[in-house]
Amino acid sequence: MRKNDSLTGNLDWPLLIAILTLMFMGLMTVYSVAFDPEHPSIFDFSQKYGKQVMWLGISLFLGTLVFLIDSDIYRKFAVPIYLSVIAMLVIVLFMPEVNGARAWLGIGSMGIQPAEFAKIGTAILLARYLGSTNLRSQDKMTVLIANGIILVPMALILLQPDAGTFIVFTSFLFVLYREGVSYDPIILALLNLLPMRWLHFKQTWLGSHFIPILFVVIFISVTTLLLSQETIAIEMFGGLEVEGKWGMVFFLGIISLVAYFLMRSIFARRDRRRAATIAIIGFVLASGLALVVQLGFDELAPHQKERIELVLGLREDPDGDDYNRNRAMAAVGSGGLFGKGYRNASVSSVRTNHVPESETDFIFCPFAEEWGFAGTIVLVFIYLFILLRIIMIAERQKAAFNRIYAYAVAMILFYHFAINIGMSIEFMPVIGIPLPFFSYGGSSMMSFSIMLFILLKLDSQRKDVLN
């Protein structure tokens, strides 16, 4: 049930002003880094800054349009919206490759990336499903469906392949955590397949806290070992050798069996022996998952493997494969405290091309070079303000749908913000995701505008929603 209210009566103006500020700053940075003296007009649509003006206009128009739509529409039509973006993700797999990936629908520069809009559809359906589910009485099917909503578009995006957007989709897992989605029902279902009764152990502190932590620690440790070592050779039975990945499998299996019998003999009490058994099961599962990660790593494209290895410090190549990050860091550092001034970027200018993609993936570099450390602090502060504002908006919602959607938006923005800037300062691998409302590009600008204006609409009608 809703009351009639003014269109902008409850609009969150601080959030809207912060977003418009980022759009303006991004446009000015694109104009600076791609400036052509022969085409000085910012409205020259033959230049990237002219096209960015066009994308901004379209994005604000679409944002206004979605704001005019009643917020109930997004909840009621969550499934059709989700299926529409899934259909686009399927169609794009049959399109011609662009830069080694099938990620674009359209012709030339007027194409769009369905993966960008898939974030919106996934956020809406996830909010609809979790908002209508009693999480206190969740079962394994609830958890599987919630994860399935996320995994379907992730799988299709991986087929393109688009590693950057694939990683961004993992942000939804934090939304599940915030809403109290637990994997206990699935874990219990697996444990019930064993010939022992595990329910009592699961209800203890050790079962509910220690084992998941142990699982994560082992997974990270074994994954690091596998990524840092190509093969392992084991001699046994007087000369028989097992090499490669299967050598590692055998090695982990032997460790698991030895540890199992040792812990069973050390712990006399029955409940502790059960704890030891589950710890070993956790070790085996974590090791197996780490092995899957390694096998998946082997299937990545060479340039993707190189980027991961460079970030992990497994090898160094500052003038070769790590050239982008190396030059990006040089551009950021060259700005000093207060920068070189507007349109004075040299290292990250498009004209010099020392920093590739300086108007898209590495747009933080020319901004940092022009405005220095002081300017980047202001930019980071604006992003942090937006993130904190969205979280505040999420917490004041009456409807679960609104709250969950708001947290999904916050996590998506955080991933883009943290990874994009992290790429420029050598904290993250180069995976090619834009800086929200800042980087050049139509799909990103439109998708983020639609996403945020839907949130503004949901928040503006929060007082009229009755759960």
Same domain, 170 and 231: no
Helical pair 270-298 and 302-311, crossing angle rounded to 10 deg: 130
* 331, part of any domain: yes
412 in a structural domain: yes
Domain membership of residue 116 (yes or no) is yes
Rounded distance, CA 410 to CA 405, Å?
9
Q: In Å, what is the CA distance from 224 to each residue of 113, 213, 297, 307?
A: 33, 17, 12, 15
Judgement on whether residues 158 and 282 belong to the same structural domain of the protein:
no
Q: Look at the pTM and tell me if it is higher than 0.85.
A: no
Residue 167 CB neighbours (<10 A): 17
Contact 20, 12 (CB under 8 A): no
344 and 456 assigned to the same domain:
yes
Query: Residue holding tokens 């074994």?
Result: 222
- For position 55, what pLDDT does the model report? 92
Assigned domain for 310 exists: no
pLDDT at 84: 94
Q: Which domain holds residue 394?
A: 13-182+323-464
3-state secondary structure the chain: CCCCCCCCCCCCHHHHHHHHHHHHHHHHHHHHHCCECCECCCCCCCCHHHHHHHHHHHHHHHHHHHHHCCCHHHHHCHHHHHHHHHHHHHHHCCCCCECCECCCECCHHHCECHHHHHHHHHHHHHHHHHHCCCHHHCCHHHHHHHHHHHHHHHHHHHCCCCHHHHHHCCHHHHHHHHCCCCCHHHHHHHHCCCCCCCHHHHCCHHHHHHHHHHHHHHHHHHHHHHHHCCCCCEEECCCEEECHHHHHHHHHHHHHHHHHHHHHHHCCCHHHHHHHHHHHHHHHHHHHHHHHHHHHHHCCCHHHHHHHHHHCCCCCCCCCCCHHHHHHHHHHHHCCCCCCCCCCCCCCCCCCCCCCCCCCCCCHHHHHHHHHHHHHHHHHHHHHHHHHHHHHHHHCCCCHHHHHHHHHHHHHHHHHHHHHHHHHCCCCCCCCCCCCCCCCCHHHHHHHHHHHHHHHHHHHCHHHCCC
Tell whether 257 and 131 lie within a shared domain: no
Amino acid type, 7: L
pLDDT at 292: 59
Please identify which residue in the block is written with the tokens 């955590």: 177
The verdict on residue 1 lying in a domain is: no
Structure confidence at residue 146 (pLDDT): 87
CA 347 to chain centre: 29
Q: Distance between CA 326 and CA 310 in Å, rounded?
A: 11
Instruction: Assess if residue 305 is contained within a domain.
Output: no
**Statement to judge: residues 234 and 286 lie in one domain:** yes
Judge if 294 and 432 occupy the same domain. Answer: no
My answer on whether 198 and 152 are in the same domain is no
Tell me: do 285 and 420 sit in the same domain. Answer: no
Task: Supply angle C-alpha 191, 193, 195, rounded to 5.
Answer: 90
* Residue 149 counted as domain residue: yes
Both 47 and 146 in a single domain? yes
Backbone angles phi, psi at 240, to 5 degrees: -65, 130
Same domain? For 177 and 221 the reply is: no
Residues in the chain: 467
Please tell me whether residues 67 and 212 are part of one structural domain: no
Q: Is residue 153 part of a domain?
A: yes
Same domain, 347 and 291: no
Looking at the structure of the chain, the number of domains it has is 2
First to last CA, the chain: 9
Q: Which of 300, 333, 353 is the last residue of a domain?
A: 300
Which residues of the chain register pLDDT less than 50? 1-4, 193-211, 213, 215-217, 219-220, 224-240, 242-243, 268, 320, 467
Sequence-distant (≥ 6) Cβ neighbours of residue 24 within 8 angstroms: none
Contact in structure between 92 and 104 (CB atoms under 8 Å) = yes
State residue 381's pLDDT score.
Answer: 94
Q: Give me the pLDDT at residue 206, please.
A: 43
